[in-house]
Amino acid sequence: MTNHWILGPGSIGRLLAHSLAPFSEVALIGRRELPAQQRLTTPEGEARVQRLTSLTAGQLAVDAPEPPAFVHITTKAMVAEAALKSVADSLPPTTPLVLWQNGFLAQPRITQAWPGPVLCATTTEGAYLTGDDGVVHAGRGHTFVGDLNNRHGELAETLSQTLTQAGLTATAVTDIRQRLWQKLAVNAAINPLVALNGVRNGELRGEAYAGRVVAVVKEVAAIMQAEGIAPPNNGQGEEAWLALVWQVVENTANNKASMLQDVEAKRLTERGAILGPLIESADRYGLPCEVLQGLNDKLAELEASF
Ligand code: KPL
């Protein structure tokens, strides 16, 4: 049986664990142990209870299970490297990693530093936690898997088949870098504005915010062009990016974006992984980014008050 370790038992981590457990050995690794009985509520509203192995990194160091075929890192972007470090001594350095983070911060750094294969996954599966023993699979989505240097196509294919068999439809791709930046572009246009203003995604369509969305997208579109990221849906420049952003706003109108949830819970946000690479890229190419920098500064100020 293939053995998967999942570092970071948040919503995607637990969804992954529930989905893989009937076919593979799974260990959920976090800062604290979770109850062994875990409940998954399917998108159809069916409840399924399963026993899932949950371990801390400390327990793993003392009593490591079989070396895993894959280590999935499902933490927030800014703690992905620390999470990997906490288990690295218990792992053969050739172990394949799968990075599930938003943004484009952890992926290039870990790809460069880890000796073994590093796959990146980007998913539209929707899930949220309902306490220490429950996760709701709110909506089915699609997962794309690939590696930044296109050296591990076969491994990406194997993992995609495993995920698909487990009920999380996945496709191996050769353009994961493009896809990660595309998602980052959409997140940059939505997340900081809703988080700073305490509104649901759909409210961005209103007069109070729409102009600010356009201003963010203007900067983002120029950065994407400099980075060689093609506009979405075979469209042209800023207009194509804006159309995608409005489409996501429409589709997620009732959502509280992840960054808003972080701010409400007084947790650090993923601004460093979403706005950080954009601002860094703008600086590198000499492009304007006052709007993005302003959002980043306001979020930093807010985080400092937590
Ligand atoms: O991915 C999202 C998030 O919440 O992080 C968006 C697209 C903004 C939907 O809420």
pLDDT digit string (tens) for 115-172?
999 999 999 998 999 999 999 999 999 999 999 999 999 999 999 999 999 999 999 9
- Structural domain including 291 reads 177-304
Catalytic residue from among 183, 256, 266, 298: 183
User: Is any ligand 1 atom within 6 A of the Cβ of residue 190?
Assistant: yes
**Best mutation site among 187, 245, 262 for ligand 1 pocket (most ligand atoms within 8 Å of CB):** 187
Are residues 112 and 195 both part of a single domain?
no
Strands 47-51 and 37-41: antiparallel
Are residues 223 and 147 both part of a single domain?
no
pTM: 0.95
Residue 241 has pLDDT above 90, yes or no: yes
Instruction: Report the number of distinct structural domains present in the chain.
Output: 2
- For residue 286, report the distance from its CA to the centre of ligand 1, in Å: 28
**What letter represents residue 88's amino acid?**
A
Name the domain boundary from 153, 174, 195. 174
Tell me the CATH number at 70. Answer: 3.40.50.720
Mean pLDDT computed over 257-275? 96
Mean pLDDT computed over 30-44? 95
Name the domain boundary from 174, 200, 225. 174
Cα–Cα nearest to 148, from 112, 197, 96, 184: 112
**What letter represents residue 195's amino acid?**
A
User: Is any ligand 1 atom within 6 A of the Cβ of residue 80?
Assistant: no
Angle at 8 between CA 186 and CA 174, to 5 degrees: 50
